[in-house]
Amino acid sequence: SFCSNFDMALSSILTEAEIAAGLQSCQADNTFDYKTFFVKVGLNSKSKDQVAKVFGILDQDRSGFIEEEELKLFLKNFSASARALTDAETKAFLAAGDSDGDGKIGVDGKSVLIKR
């Protein structure tokens, strides 16, 4: 099923402890900060290849882009019990990675987000 593939793919890149630390940092509404989150889960120290894998997992409809709807559920990819992002968080996250203003994050935008 989608979930188990997902967990397997993600756990080959991130440890449970890293994921837990990331989720811990943004439990309350409007406390999600993508920079903090990526640092906590250790994504900023992963290889380009690993980052691309994570991006592929988040891009649930395989469009090559992460859309607002997919971003909203970003945290749920890391844990089924995690919350959805608020509209404000989703918009801030989207704005940070949307390099060309088309309302979604493409492959170039994701490296900007993670390495910034």
Q: Is 29 annotated as a binding residue?
A: no
Q: What angle do CA 20, 82, 59 make, to 5 degrees?
A: 95
Q: Smallest Cα–Cα separation from 38: which of 51, 28, 52? A: 51
Q: Is 7 annotated as a binding residue?
A: no
Q: Is 59 annotated as a binding residue?
A: yes
Q: Classify each residue of 76-98 as buried b or exposed e, where b means 16 or more C-beta atoms within 10 Å of its C-beta.
A: ebbeeebbebeeebbebbbebbb
Q: Is 76 annotated as a binding residue?
A: no
Q: Is 70 annotated as a binding residue?
A: yes
Q: Is 102 annotated as a binding residue?
A: yes
Q: Is 2 annotated as a binding residue?
A: no
Residues annotated in a binding site for Ca(2+): 59, 61, 63, 65, 70, 98, 100, 102, 104
Residues annotated in a binding site: 59, 61, 63, 65, 70, 98, 100, 102, 104
